[in-house]
């Protein structure tokens, strides 16, 4: 690594490690054990201002490099991610609590995103557009916007930062990044990898801290684009501040109240597998996790019985063990929120089918009593558009079974009855039902006969309605971090205009 591990860990600004303005610190803790993983200095708005200044000053020199030269720096990061997948995957698991295969997958996804971004540097850029005038060349060009602010969540503490950062850097922008306060150690590791790769001073800057630091990034007018993945509440505040501001933009990927539709033509083995993965993987703490399962009346009883059996038995345990399916939630606030929504479901008349909110002592791994442990909570409820429990995001293993009668149109009507529109899935052996869902489900990410669980890096990741604005990943993020210029060049000595517009200049003298 680029320096000895010392604590408290510092911010990385303008090529140097720095304590910053304040000596206030915060800790990162393992959600499975309560063990402290590290202490970190907490950034102030003044620290963010310094980081933005460094990024602004480094921009012109960085943008002058070729795509290939910028990508070569990122290739070094790619190789380190691949070589250290197991090591870094364990760090992810220790800091955010998701089971070890997910920790490794987080690092692999980061590597794939860097590979995509760096590889794209050698692909064609822009579009040649035919002109009406034979003597004219017309084409599209893109150029970097400047300083990009990146604010990322804790549940994918390595993958999502590279969704943002890799593309922004290869496209010629400079970056100020604030990792989630729950996973600063992963942020530290990413920063050290970027330094080891040779990213020049000021091009990539990291400020550790809380919402005030993120807000300072948003409010700094020199930050041309903000890339954000996180809660809808915070994302909408960012959009309110930047929406309509000339010269500034934001790409926002937020949460959802995602659903799976299981039709009368579903293969129930696929439906069950998809539902369990969607609802309980990452302990329900993916932005695409399913909290609603909408099941046709013809298959409802069988699906319910089998789903309940699995939810009662799904393995909750030490996330570092290979046979664990669900680890802890990230912190005590998530435990409390989970409990509050479980109580709300009861108050709204739900029939509780599985209640593992408070695990027995025997279910908690030895030595992990200080962790943040919950199990699945499953209930059935008659559909009612006024029920909060089926409309508000919980971000935990809180799942409603909703029975429907009728055709696919009715299922999709219930599916769409939410302010969110991030992700969803349909399970059916009838291609007409699948295609109806595809065409009418109000989501940015949709799956057929699959879990609602994510997307490969080459696909845009973002939602509609309350779930997002744009997609801060893959090809779509290029739109957010670059400006487009439509360029037309005349190759003739004469000037000729399109649409039949006269280019003749006349005077009073004839």
According to DSSP H, which parts of 248-331 are helical? 268-280, 297-313
Q: How many CB atoms lie within 10 A of CB 416?
A: 16
What's the pLDDT score for residue 6? Answer: 63
What's the pLDDT score for residue 1? Answer: 37
Q: What is the CATH number of domain 258-455?
A: 3.40.309.10
Indicate the pTM of the whole model: 0.94
CATH fold match for the domains 11-254+467-487 and 258-455: no
pLDDT at 2 over 70: no
> Is domain 11-254+467-487 given the CATH code 3.40.605.10 in the classification?
yes
Give SS3 for 332: helix
pLDDT in tens, 84-130: 999 999 999 999 999 999 999 999 999 999 999 999 999 988 889 99
What's the pLDDT score for residue 292? Answer: 98
Over range 246-271, report the average pLDDT: 96
Do residues 409 and 374 lie in contact, with contact meaning Cβ atoms separated by under 8 Å?
no
Over range 2-24, report the average pLDDT: 85
pLDDT at 213 over 80: yes
Domain ranges in the chain are 11-254+467-487, 258-455
C-alpha to C-alpha distance for 17 and 456, rounded to whole angstroms? 34
C-alpha to C-alpha distance for 182 and 60, rounded to whole angstroms? 34
pLDDT in tens, 333-358: 999 999 999 999 999 999 999 999 99
Over range 172-182, report the average pLDDT: 98
Over range 51-69, report the average pLDDT: 97
pLDDT at 48 over 60: yes
pLDDT in tens, 141-156: 999 999 999 999 999 9
Q: Which two tokens stand for residue 173?
A: 């922008």
* Angle formed by the axes of helices 67-83 and 184-197, nearest 10°: 130
Do residues 496 and 134 lie in contact, with contact meaning Cβ atoms separated by under 8 Å?
no
Specify the length of the chain in residues: 510
pLDDT in tens, 227-252: 999 999 999 999 999 988 999 999 99
What's the pLDDT score for residue 226? Answer: 97
C-alpha to C-alpha distance for 372 and 339, rounded to whole angstroms? 12
pLDDT at 380 over 90: yes
Over range 405-421, report the average pLDDT: 97
pLDDT at 4 over 80: no
The residue among 397, 399, 416 whose CA lies nearest residue 466 is: 416
C-alpha to C-alpha distance for 303 and 487, rounded to whole angstroms? 58
471 bridge partner residues: none
Q: What b/e readout covers 120-158, taking b as 16+ CB neighbours within 10 angstroms?
A: bbeeeeeeeeeeebeebebeeebebbbbbbbbbbbbbbb
Report the Cα 446 to chain-centroid distance in Å: 15
Give SS3 for 488: strand
C-alpha to C-alpha distance for 123 and 316, rounded to whole angstroms? 45
Q: How many CB atoms lie within 10 A of CB 465?
A: 17
Burial (Cβ within 10 Å: 0-12, 13-18, ≥19) of residue 489: exposed
Over range 388-417, report the average pLDDT: 98
Mean pLDDT of the chain: 95
Q: Comparing 258 with 23, which gets the higher pLDDT?
A: 258
Over range 458-480, report the average pLDDT: 88
Please report which confidence band the pLDDT of residue 459 belongs to, taking 50, 70 and 90 as the band edges: confident
C-alpha to C-alpha distance for 379 and 401, rounded to whole angstroms? 6
Catalytic residue check, 253? yes
Report the Cα 197 to chain-centroid distance in Å: 24
Q: How many CB atoms lie within 10 A of CB 297?
A: 11
Q: Which two tokens stand for residue 259?
A: 């659903």
The one catalytic residue in 171, 181, 192, 253 is 253
What's the pLDDT score for residue 472? Answer: 81
Which residue bears the tokens 């005030």?
212
Q: Which two tokens stand for residue 329?
A: 């939630």
pLDDT at 510 over 70: no
Q: How many CB atoms lie within 10 A of CB 232?
A: 22
pLDDT at 3 over 70: no
């Amino acid at each position: 690594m680029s320096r000895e591990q010392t604590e408290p860990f510092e911010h990385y600004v303008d090529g140097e490690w720095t304590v910053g303005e304040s000596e206030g610190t915060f800790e990162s803790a393992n959600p499975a054990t309560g063990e402290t993983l590290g202490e970190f200095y907490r950034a102030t708005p003044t620290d963010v201002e310094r980081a933005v200044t460094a990024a602004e000053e480094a921009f012109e020199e960085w943008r002058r490099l070729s795509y290939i030269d910028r990508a070569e720096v990122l290739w070094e990061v790619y190789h380190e991610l691949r070589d250290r997948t197991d090591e870094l995957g364990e760090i992810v698991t220790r800091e955010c609590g998701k089971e070890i295969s997910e920790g490794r997958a987080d690092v692999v996804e980061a590597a794939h995103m860097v590979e995509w971004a760096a590889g794209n540097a050698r692909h064609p850029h822009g579009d040649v557009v035919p002109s009406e005038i034979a003597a004219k060349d017309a084409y599209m060009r893109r150029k970097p916007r400047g300083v990009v602010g990146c604010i990322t969540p804790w549940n994918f503490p390595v993958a999502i930062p590279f969704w943002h950062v890799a593309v922004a850097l290869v496209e010629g922008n400079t970056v100020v990044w604030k990792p989630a306060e729950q996973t600063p150690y992963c942020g530290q590791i990413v920063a050290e990898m970027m330094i080891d790769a040779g990213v020049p001073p000021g091009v990539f800057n990291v400020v550790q801290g809380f919402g005030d630091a993120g807000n300072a990034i948003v409010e700094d007018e020199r930050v041309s684009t903000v890339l954000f993945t996180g809660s809808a509440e915070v994302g909408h505040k960012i959009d309110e501040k930047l929406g309509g501001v000339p010269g500034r933009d934001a790409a926002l990927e937020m949460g959802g109240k995602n659903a799976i539709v299981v039709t009368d033509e579903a293969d129930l083995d696929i439906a069950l597998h998809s539902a369990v993965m969607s609802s309980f993987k990452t302990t329900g703490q993916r932005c695409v996790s399913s909290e609603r399962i909408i099941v046709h009346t013809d298959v409802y009883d069988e699906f319910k019985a089998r789903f309940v059996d699995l939810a009662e038995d799904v393995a909750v345990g030490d996330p570092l063990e290979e046979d664990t399916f669900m680890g802890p939630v990230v912190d005590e606030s998530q435990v409390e929120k989970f409990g509050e929504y479980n109580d709300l479901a009861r108050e709204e008349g739900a029939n509780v089918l599985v209640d593992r909110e408070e695990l027995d002592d025997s279910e908690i791994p030895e030595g992990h009593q200080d962790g943040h442990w919950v199990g699945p909570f499953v209930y059935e409820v008659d559909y009612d558009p006024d029920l909060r429990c089926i409309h508000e995001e919980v971000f935990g293993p809180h799942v409603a079974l909703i029975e429907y009668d009728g055709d696919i149109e009715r299922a999709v009507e219930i599916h769409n009855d939410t302010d969110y529109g991030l992700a969803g899935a349909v399970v059916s052996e009838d291609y007409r039902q699948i295609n109806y869902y595809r065409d009418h489900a109000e989501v940015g990410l949709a799956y057929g006969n699959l879990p609602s669980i994510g997307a490969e890096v080459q696909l845009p990741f973002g939602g509609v309605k309350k779930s997002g604005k744009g997609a801060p990943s893959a090809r779509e993020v290029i739109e957010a971090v670059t400006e487009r210029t439509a360029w037309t060049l005349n190759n003739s000595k004469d000037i000729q205009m399109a649409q039949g517009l006269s280019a003749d200049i006349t005077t009073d003298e004839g």
